[in-house]
Protein backbone atom coordinates (compact mmCIF):
# COMPACT_ATOMS: atom_id res chain seq x y z
CA UNK A 1 0.00 0.00 0.00
CA UNK A 2 1.35 3.42 -0.90
CA UNK A 3 2.51 5.47 2.07
CA UNK A 4 0.64 8.71 2.69
CA UNK A 5 1.63 11.70 4.81
CA UNK A 6 0.21 11.73 8.31
CA UNK A 7 -1.71 14.65 9.76
CA UNK A 8 0.61 16.91 11.77
CA UNK A 9 0.27 16.39 15.51
CA UNK A 10 0.47 19.18 18.12
CA UNK A 11 3.43 18.72 20.43
CA UNK A 12 2.54 21.22 23.17
CA UNK A 13 2.47 18.34 25.66
CA UNK A 14 6.08 17.23 25.43
CA UNK A 15 5.90 13.70 26.78
CA UNK A 16 3.66 10.87 27.82
CA UNK A 17 2.99 10.16 31.45
CA UNK A 18 4.80 6.83 31.08
CA UNK A 19 7.65 7.52 28.66
CA UNK A 20 9.72 4.52 29.72
CA UNK A 21 7.36 2.04 28.05
CA UNK A 22 6.78 4.00 24.83
CA UNK A 23 9.01 4.53 21.79
CA UNK A 24 11.23 7.58 22.20
CA UNK A 25 9.33 9.31 19.39
CA UNK A 26 5.94 9.03 21.12
CA UNK A 27 4.20 12.35 21.78
CA UNK A 28 0.90 13.05 23.51
CA UNK A 29 -1.42 15.47 21.70
CA UNK A 30 -3.93 17.78 23.44
CA UNK A 31 -6.83 15.84 21.92
CA UNK A 32 -5.73 12.69 23.74
CA UNK A 33 -4.17 10.98 20.75
CA UNK A 34 -0.60 9.71 20.72
CA UNK A 35 1.72 10.06 17.75
CA UNK A 36 4.63 7.69 17.14
CA UNK A 37 7.30 8.81 14.67
CA UNK A 38 4.94 11.66 13.76
CA UNK A 39 2.01 9.36 12.91
CA UNK A 40 -1.17 9.69 15.03
CA UNK A 41 -2.13 6.25 16.30
CA UNK A 42 -5.81 6.94 15.67
CA UNK A 43 -4.94 7.43 12.00
CA UNK A 44 -3.39 3.96 12.01
CA UNK A 45 -6.44 2.48 13.71
CA UNK A 46 -8.82 4.07 11.20
CA UNK A 47 -6.76 3.28 8.12
CA UNK A 48 -5.65 -0.28 8.90
CA UNK A 49 -8.32 -1.39 11.37
CA UNK A 50 -7.88 -3.04 14.75
CA UNK A 51 -6.32 -5.02 16.25
CA UNK A 52 -3.13 -3.70 14.69
CA UNK A 53 0.52 -3.52 15.61
CA UNK A 54 2.56 -0.37 15.04
CA UNK A 55 6.34 -0.66 14.76
CA UNK A 56 8.57 2.41 14.98
CA UNK A 57 11.36 1.83 12.44
CA UNK A 58 13.56 4.52 13.94
CA UNK A 59 13.29 2.97 17.40
CA UNK A 60 14.30 -0.45 16.06
CA UNK A 61 17.30 1.01 14.28
CA UNK A 62 18.33 3.13 17.28
CA UNK A 63 18.23 0.13 19.59
CA UNK A 64 20.24 -1.97 17.14
CA UNK A 65 22.86 0.78 17.02
CA UNK A 66 22.90 1.03 20.81
CA UNK A 67 23.87 -2.63 21.04
CA UNK A 68 26.63 -2.19 18.51
CA UNK A 69 27.99 0.81 20.42
CA UNK A 70 27.77 -1.08 23.71
CA UNK A 71 29.88 -3.98 22.38
CA UNK A 72 31.89 -2.65 19.43
CA UNK A 73 34.25 -5.64 19.38
CA UNK A 74 31.50 -8.26 19.67
CA UNK A 75 29.03 -9.78 17.23
CA UNK A 76 25.48 -8.58 17.85
CA UNK A 77 22.94 -11.06 16.46
CA UNK A 78 19.25 -10.15 16.35
CA UNK A 79 17.02 -12.93 17.70
CA UNK A 80 14.47 -13.26 14.90
CA UNK A 81 11.97 -15.16 17.02
CA UNK A 82 10.99 -11.87 18.71
CA UNK A 83 9.53 -10.66 15.40
CA UNK A 84 10.61 -11.07 11.80
CA UNK A 85 9.41 -9.67 8.51
CA UNK A 86 11.15 -8.79 5.27
CA UNK A 87 11.43 -5.15 6.30
CA UNK A 88 12.95 -6.10 9.65
CA UNK A 89 15.49 -8.30 7.86
CA UNK A 90 16.50 -5.26 5.81
CA UNK A 91 16.74 -2.99 8.87
CA UNK A 92 18.87 -5.48 10.75
CA UNK A 93 21.17 -6.01 7.78
CA UNK A 94 21.59 -2.27 7.23
CA UNK A 95 22.45 -1.74 10.91
CA UNK A 96 25.18 -4.39 10.73
CA UNK A 97 23.69 -7.02 13.02
CA UNK A 98 23.67 -10.76 12.50
CA UNK A 99 20.50 -12.84 12.57
CA UNK A 100 19.58 -15.73 14.86
CA UNK A 101 16.92 -18.02 13.39
CA UNK A 102 15.11 -21.15 14.56
CA UNK A 103 13.46 -22.56 11.44
CA UNK A 104 13.85 -23.17 7.73
CA UNK A 105 11.17 -20.57 6.97
CA UNK A 106 13.02 -17.87 8.90
CA UNK A 107 16.15 -18.86 6.98
CA UNK A 108 14.38 -18.66 3.64
CA UNK A 109 12.87 -15.28 4.53
CA UNK A 110 16.33 -13.91 5.33
CA UNK A 111 17.75 -15.37 2.12
CA UNK A 112 14.92 -13.81 0.09
CA UNK A 113 16.22 -10.40 1.17
CA UNK A 114 19.85 -11.24 0.45
CA UNK A 115 20.87 -11.32 4.11
CA UNK A 116 24.53 -12.49 4.35
CA UNK A 117 24.43 -16.19 5.23
CA UNK A 118 27.70 -16.03 7.14
CA UNK A 119 26.00 -13.65 9.64
CA UNK A 120 23.23 -16.16 10.40
CA UNK A 121 23.14 -18.44 13.46
CA UNK A 122 20.74 -21.42 13.47
CA UNK A 123 19.26 -22.42 16.84
CA UNK A 124 16.69 -24.94 17.98
CA UNK A 125 16.72 -27.80 20.50
CA UNK A 126 14.83 -30.00 18.01
CA UNK A 127 15.89 -28.99 14.50
CA UNK A 128 14.04 -30.76 11.72
CA UNK A 129 15.77 -32.35 8.74
CA UNK A 130 14.41 -29.46 6.67
CA UNK A 131 15.96 -26.93 9.07
CA UNK A 132 19.39 -28.56 8.77
CA UNK A 133 19.18 -29.05 5.00
CA UNK A 134 18.18 -25.42 4.46
CA UNK A 135 20.99 -24.18 6.69
CA UNK A 136 23.58 -26.20 4.79
CA UNK A 137 22.18 -25.24 1.40
CA UNK A 138 22.29 -21.54 2.26
CA UNK A 139 25.65 -21.76 4.00
CA UNK A 140 24.80 -20.34 7.42
CA UNK A 141 27.72 -19.14 9.48
CA UNK A 142 27.00 -21.10 12.68
CA UNK A 143 24.82 -24.04 13.63
CA UNK A 144 24.26 -24.38 17.38
CA UNK A 145 24.27 -28.04 18.39
CA UNK A 146 21.85 -28.38 21.29
CA UNK A 147 21.60 -32.14 21.83
CA UNK A 148 23.82 -35.20 21.21
CA UNK A 149 21.36 -36.42 18.55
CA UNK A 150 22.21 -33.49 16.30
CA UNK A 151 25.93 -34.21 16.00
CA UNK A 152 25.90 -37.17 13.64
CA UNK A 153 22.66 -35.99 12.03
CA UNK A 154 24.27 -32.72 10.98
CA UNK A 155 27.66 -34.18 10.11
CA UNK A 156 26.09 -36.72 7.76
CA UNK A 157 24.46 -33.94 5.76
CA UNK A 158 27.47 -31.64 5.31
CA UNK A 159 28.36 -31.93 1.62
CA UNK A 160 31.98 -30.79 2.02
CA UNK A 161 34.67 -30.12 1.21
CA UNK A 162 34.59 -27.42 3.92
CA UNK A 163 33.45 -28.31 7.41
CA UNK A 164 30.35 -26.66 8.87
CA UNK A 165 31.19 -24.33 11.74
CA UNK A 166 29.23 -25.21 14.88
CA UNK A 167 28.86 -24.15 18.49
CA UNK A 168 27.86 -26.42 21.34
CA UNK A 169 25.05 -25.17 23.55
CA UNK A 170 25.72 -25.85 27.20
CA UNK A 171 23.60 -25.52 30.30
CA UNK A 172 25.93 -23.88 32.82
CA UNK A 173 23.61 -24.11 35.82
CA UNK A 174 23.01 -20.37 35.93
CA UNK A 175 19.34 -19.85 35.11
CA UNK A 176 17.72 -16.41 35.18
CA UNK A 177 14.57 -14.71 33.93
CA UNK A 178 11.31 -13.11 34.92
CA UNK A 179 9.17 -16.30 34.95
CA UNK A 180 9.87 -20.00 35.41
CA UNK A 181 8.92 -20.70 31.80
CA UNK A 182 11.51 -18.15 30.63
CA UNK A 183 14.55 -19.59 32.44
CA UNK A 184 16.79 -21.56 30.15
CA UNK A 185 20.27 -21.90 31.69
CA UNK A 186 19.61 -24.11 34.71
CA UNK A 187 19.74 -27.84 35.27
CA UNK A 188 16.65 -29.82 34.40
CA UNK A 189 15.72 -27.55 31.52
CA UNK A 190 15.45 -28.95 27.96
CA UNK A 191 17.98 -26.51 26.53
CA UNK A 192 21.58 -27.42 25.92
CA UNK A 193 23.81 -30.03 27.48
CA UNK A 194 24.72 -30.03 31.12
CA UNK A 195 28.17 -28.96 32.25
CA UNK A 196 27.63 -30.49 35.70
CA UNK A 197 26.85 -34.01 34.46
CA UNK A 198 29.66 -34.10 31.88
CA UNK A 199 27.20 -34.29 28.96
CA UNK A 200 28.59 -31.07 27.48
CA UNK A 201 32.17 -32.40 27.53
CA UNK A 202 31.06 -35.66 25.94
CA UNK A 203 29.35 -33.68 23.18
CA UNK A 204 32.55 -31.72 22.57
CA UNK A 205 34.48 -34.99 22.24
CA UNK A 206 31.99 -36.28 19.67
CA UNK A 207 32.02 -33.06 17.67
CA UNK A 208 35.82 -32.99 17.60
CA UNK A 209 35.68 -36.51 16.19
CA UNK A 210 33.58 -35.40 13.22
CA UNK A 211 35.83 -34.13 10.39
CA UNK A 212 32.88 -32.39 8.70
CA UNK A 213 32.17 -30.28 11.77
CA UNK A 214 34.39 -27.48 13.02
CA UNK A 215 33.77 -26.59 16.66
CA UNK A 216 34.35 -22.84 17.03
CA UNK A 217 32.79 -22.05 20.38
CA UNK A 218 30.32 -22.43 23.20
CA UNK A 219 26.77 -21.12 23.26
CA UNK A 220 24.53 -20.63 26.27
CA UNK A 221 21.21 -19.00 27.06
CA UNK A 222 20.35 -18.06 30.63
CA UNK A 223 16.72 -17.04 30.18
CA UNK A 224 14.46 -14.18 29.11
CA UNK A 225 13.54 -10.80 30.59
CA UNK A 226 16.68 -10.69 32.74
CA UNK A 227 16.54 -7.37 34.55
CA UNK A 228 20.16 -7.00 35.74
CA UNK A 229 23.65 -7.74 34.39
CA UNK A 230 24.65 -9.97 37.33
CA UNK A 231 23.26 -13.25 35.91
CA UNK A 232 25.36 -12.71 32.79
CA UNK A 233 28.44 -12.19 34.95
CA UNK A 234 27.77 -15.53 36.68
CA UNK A 235 27.15 -17.16 33.33
CA UNK A 236 30.41 -15.82 31.91
CA UNK A 237 32.36 -17.29 34.79
CA UNK A 238 30.87 -20.75 34.35
CA UNK A 239 31.31 -20.72 30.59
CA UNK A 240 34.95 -19.62 30.85
CA UNK A 241 35.58 -22.35 33.41
CA UNK A 242 34.12 -24.80 30.89
CA UNK A 243 36.42 -23.45 28.18
CA UNK A 244 39.37 -24.03 30.49
CA UNK A 245 38.20 -27.60 31.08
CA UNK A 246 37.96 -28.18 27.33
CA UNK A 247 41.51 -26.93 26.83
CA UNK A 248 42.73 -29.15 29.67
CA UNK A 249 41.01 -32.30 28.40
CA UNK A 250 41.26 -31.89 24.63
CA UNK A 251 44.07 -29.39 24.11
CA UNK A 252 41.69 -27.13 22.19
CA UNK A 253 41.18 -23.41 22.83
CA UNK A 254 37.79 -22.41 21.50
CA UNK A 255 37.75 -18.88 20.04
CA UNK A 256 34.08 -17.90 20.47
CA UNK A 257 31.48 -17.50 23.24
CA UNK A 258 27.80 -16.75 22.57
CA UNK A 259 25.86 -15.65 25.66
CA UNK A 260 22.48 -15.56 23.92
CA UNK A 261 19.95 -12.87 24.75
CA UNK A 262 17.21 -12.37 27.31
CA UNK A 263 17.85 -8.67 28.01
CA UNK A 264 14.87 -7.06 29.72
CA UNK A 265 12.62 -4.24 28.58
CA UNK A 266 10.12 -2.21 30.60
CA UNK A 267 6.49 -3.29 30.25
CA UNK A 268 5.22 -1.15 33.15
CA UNK A 269 6.49 2.28 34.22
CA UNK A 270 9.43 1.82 36.55
CA UNK A 271 10.27 -1.71 35.44
CA UNK A 272 14.04 -2.31 35.58
CA UNK A 273 15.52 -2.35 32.10
CA UNK A 274 19.28 -1.67 31.98
CA UNK A 275 20.67 -0.06 28.84
CA UNK A 276 22.73 -2.07 26.34
CA UNK A 277 25.75 -0.13 27.61
CA UNK A 278 25.10 -1.29 31.18
CA UNK A 279 24.79 -4.93 30.13
CA UNK A 280 27.70 -4.72 27.72
CA UNK A 281 30.13 -3.13 30.15
CA UNK A 282 29.56 -5.75 32.85
CA UNK A 283 29.65 -8.67 30.42
CA UNK A 284 32.85 -7.54 28.71
CA UNK A 285 34.58 -6.79 32.01
CA UNK A 286 33.60 -10.19 33.39
CA UNK A 287 34.83 -11.96 30.28
CA UNK A 288 38.24 -10.27 30.36
CA UNK A 289 38.65 -10.85 34.11
CA UNK A 290 37.65 -14.52 34.02
CA UNK A 291 39.85 -15.28 31.03
CA UNK A 292 42.81 -13.73 32.83
CA UNK A 293 42.05 -15.86 35.87
CA UNK A 294 42.02 -19.06 33.79
CA UNK A 295 44.93 -17.93 31.58
CA UNK A 296 42.79 -18.08 28.43
CA UNK A 297 42.79 -15.70 25.46
CA UNK A 298 39.63 -13.60 25.42
CA UNK A 299 37.23 -15.24 22.95
CA UNK A 300 35.11 -13.42 20.40
CA UNK A 301 31.85 -12.53 22.13
CA UNK A 302 28.37 -12.79 20.64
CA UNK A 303 25.12 -11.54 22.19
CA UNK A 304 21.63 -12.06 20.77
CA UNK A 305 19.19 -9.29 21.72
CA UNK A 306 15.70 -9.67 20.28
CA UNK A 307 13.09 -8.29 22.67
CA UNK A 308 15.36 -5.37 23.60
CA UNK A 309 15.58 -4.33 19.94
CA UNK A 310 11.92 -4.55 18.85
CA UNK A 311 9.88 -4.81 22.06
CA UNK A 312 9.79 -1.11 22.99
CA UNK A 313 9.35 -0.15 19.32
CA UNK A 314 5.90 -1.73 19.11
CA UNK A 315 2.44 -0.51 20.11
CA UNK A 316 -0.70 -2.66 19.89
CA UNK A 317 -4.03 -1.00 19.08
CA UNK A 318 -7.41 -2.44 20.08
CA UNK A 319 -11.00 -1.26 19.71
CA UNK A 320 -13.26 -1.48 22.78
CA UNK A 321 -16.29 -3.73 22.17
CA UNK A 322 -17.95 -3.88 25.58
CA UNK A 323 -17.71 -2.44 29.11
CA UNK A 324 -19.36 -3.86 32.23
CA UNK A 325 -18.99 -4.19 35.98
CA UNK A 326 -19.15 -7.52 37.76
CA UNK A 327 -21.10 -8.23 40.93
CA UNK A 328 -17.83 -7.98 42.81
CA UNK A 329 -17.26 -4.44 41.56
CA UNK A 330 -14.58 -5.25 39.00
CA UNK A 331 -14.72 -3.23 35.77
CA UNK A 332 -14.11 -5.20 32.57
CA UNK A 333 -13.28 -3.71 29.20
CA UNK A 334 -13.44 -6.20 26.30
CA UNK A 335 -11.50 -5.49 23.12
CA UNK A 336 -11.35 -6.96 19.62
CA UNK A 337 -8.08 -8.84 20.19
CA UNK A 338 -6.71 -10.93 23.02
CA UNK A 339 -4.92 -14.20 23.56
CA UNK A 340 -5.09 -14.92 19.82
CA UNK A 341 -2.67 -12.10 19.04
CA UNK A 342 -0.88 -11.81 22.41
CA UNK A 343 -0.58 -15.04 24.42
CA UNK A 344 2.10 -13.67 26.77
CA UNK A 345 -0.20 -12.74 29.69
CA UNK A 346 -1.71 -16.24 29.65
CA UNK A 347 1.65 -17.99 29.23
CA UNK A 348 3.91 -15.92 31.48
CA UNK A 349 1.71 -13.64 33.52
CA UNK A 350 3.02 -10.70 31.50
CA UNK A 351 1.69 -7.29 32.53
CA UNK A 352 1.17 -4.21 30.38
CA UNK A 353 0.39 -0.52 30.54
CA UNK A 354 -2.79 0.48 28.64
CA UNK A 355 -3.80 3.96 27.47
CA UNK A 356 -6.98 5.41 26.00
CA UNK A 357 -6.17 7.29 22.79
CA UNK A 358 -8.16 9.37 20.31
CA UNK A 359 -9.97 11.57 22.81
CA UNK A 360 -9.17 13.47 25.96
CA UNK A 361 -11.06 12.43 29.08
CA UNK A 362 -11.49 14.41 32.27
CA UNK A 363 -13.07 11.45 34.06
CA UNK A 364 -11.24 9.95 37.05
CA UNK A 365 -9.40 6.71 36.40
CA UNK A 366 -10.10 3.37 38.00
CA UNK A 367 -8.41 -0.02 37.97
CA UNK A 368 -9.77 -1.92 34.98
CA UNK A 369 -9.31 -5.44 33.65
CA UNK A 370 -8.84 -5.45 29.88
CA UNK A 371 -9.97 -8.77 28.42
CA UNK A 372 -10.00 -10.29 24.96
CA UNK A 373 -12.72 -11.66 22.74
CA UNK A 374 -11.88 -15.36 22.91
CA UNK A 375 -14.13 -16.64 25.70
CA UNK A 376 -11.26 -18.04 27.74
CA UNK A 377 -10.81 -17.37 31.44
CA UNK A 378 -7.14 -16.70 30.73
CA UNK A 379 -7.85 -14.20 27.95
CA UNK A 380 -6.76 -11.20 30.00
CA UNK A 381 -4.55 -8.60 28.33
CA UNK A 382 -4.06 -6.35 31.36
CA UNK A 383 -5.18 -6.38 34.99
CA UNK A 384 -5.34 -3.25 37.08
CA UNK A 385 -4.99 -0.94 34.08
CA UNK A 386 -5.78 2.66 35.03
CA UNK A 387 -8.39 3.80 32.49
CA UNK A 388 -10.93 6.64 32.61
CA UNK A 389 -14.27 5.73 34.11
CA UNK A 390 -16.01 6.89 30.94
CA UNK A 391 -14.26 4.41 28.63
CA UNK A 392 -16.90 3.11 26.22
CA UNK A 393 -17.43 0.87 23.19
CA UNK A 394 -15.77 2.32 20.12
CA UNK A 395 -12.82 3.75 22.03
CA UNK A 396 -9.31 2.73 21.02
CA UNK A 397 -6.74 1.49 23.52
CA UNK A 398 -2.99 1.47 22.95
CA UNK A 399 -0.65 -1.05 24.58
CA UNK A 400 3.02 -0.03 24.38
CA UNK A 401 6.04 -2.37 24.56
CA UNK A 402 4.25 -4.77 22.19
CA UNK A 403 6.90 -5.28 19.53
CA UNK A 404 8.26 -8.65 20.65
CA UNK A 405 6.62 -12.08 20.96
CA UNK A 406 3.14 -10.87 20.03
CA UNK A 407 2.73 -11.27 16.28
CA UNK A 408 5.42 -13.97 16.22
CA UNK A 409 3.42 -16.05 18.73
CA UNK A 410 -0.06 -15.14 17.45
CA UNK A 411 -2.39 -18.04 16.67
CA UNK A 412 -5.40 -16.50 15.00
CA UNK A 413 -7.57 -18.39 17.52
CA UNK A 414 -11.26 -18.59 16.57
CA UNK A 415 -10.13 -17.85 12.99
CA UNK A 416 -10.05 -14.19 13.87
CA UNK A 417 -6.90 -13.80 11.77
CA UNK A 418 -3.56 -12.44 12.83
CA UNK A 419 -3.34 -8.63 12.94
CA UNK A 420 -1.40 -6.46 10.50
CA UNK A 421 1.94 -4.85 11.30
CA UNK A 422 2.32 -1.21 10.30
CA UNK A 423 5.68 0.55 10.23
CA UNK A 424 5.90 4.24 11.05
CA UNK A 425 8.78 6.54 10.17
CA UNK A 426 9.15 10.21 9.22
CA UNK A 427 5.42 10.98 9.77
CA UNK A 428 4.40 8.21 7.33
CA UNK A 429 2.95 4.75 7.78
CA UNK A 430 3.27 1.68 5.58
CA UNK A 431 1.98 -1.86 5.81
CA UNK A 432 4.63 -4.49 6.56
CA UNK A 433 2.40 -7.51 7.20
CA UNK A 434 -1.22 -7.53 6.06
CA UNK A 435 -4.14 -8.73 8.13
CA UNK A 436 -4.95 -12.42 7.84
CA UNK A 437 -8.49 -12.99 6.58
CA UNK A 438 -10.99 -15.53 5.32
CA UNK A 439 -9.21 -16.08 2.00
CA UNK A 440 -6.07 -17.11 3.88
CA UNK A 441 -7.97 -19.67 5.95
CA UNK A 442 -9.84 -20.97 2.91
CA UNK A 443 -6.61 -21.36 0.93
CA UNK A 444 -5.12 -23.54 3.70
CA UNK A 445 -8.26 -25.67 4.10
CA UNK A 446 -7.88 -28.23 1.28
CA UNK A 447 -9.96 -31.03 2.77
CA UNK A 448 -12.71 -31.21 0.11
Annotated active-site positions, please? 375
**Cis (ω within 30 of 0) for the bond into 51?**
yes
Asked if 201 contacts 245 with a C-beta cutoff of 8 angstroms, the reply is: yes
Separation of alpha carbons 321 and 333, rounded Å: 8
Task: Residue count of the chain, please give it.
Answer: 448
Q: By CB neighbour count within 10 A (0-12 exposed, 13-18 middle, 19+ buried), where does 39 fall?
A: buried
Separation of alpha carbons 51 and 242, rounded Å: 47
Residue 335 to residues 98, 313, 434: CA-CA distances in angstroms? 37, 22, 20
Q: Quick one: CA torsion of 387, 388, 393, 398, rounded to 10 degrees? A: -40
Residues 6+ positions from 285 with CB-CB distance below 8 Å? none
**Cis (ω within 30 of 0) for the bond into 332?**
no
DSSP letter at 40? E
In degrees and rounded to multiples of 5, residue 195 shows phi and psi of -75, -40
Amino acid sequence: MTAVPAVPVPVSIPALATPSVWPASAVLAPDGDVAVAGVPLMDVAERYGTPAYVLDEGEVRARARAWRRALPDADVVYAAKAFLSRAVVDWIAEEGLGLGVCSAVELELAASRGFPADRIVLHGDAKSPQDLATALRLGVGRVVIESPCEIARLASRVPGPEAQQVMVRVSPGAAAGGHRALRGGGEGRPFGMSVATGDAEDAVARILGQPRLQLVGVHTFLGSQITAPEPYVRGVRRVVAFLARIRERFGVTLPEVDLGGGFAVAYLPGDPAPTPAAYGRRIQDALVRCCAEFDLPVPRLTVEPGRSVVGPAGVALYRVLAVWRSAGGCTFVAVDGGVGDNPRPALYGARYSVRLIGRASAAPTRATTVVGRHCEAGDVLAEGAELPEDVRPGDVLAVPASGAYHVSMASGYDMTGRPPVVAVSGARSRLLVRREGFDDHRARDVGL
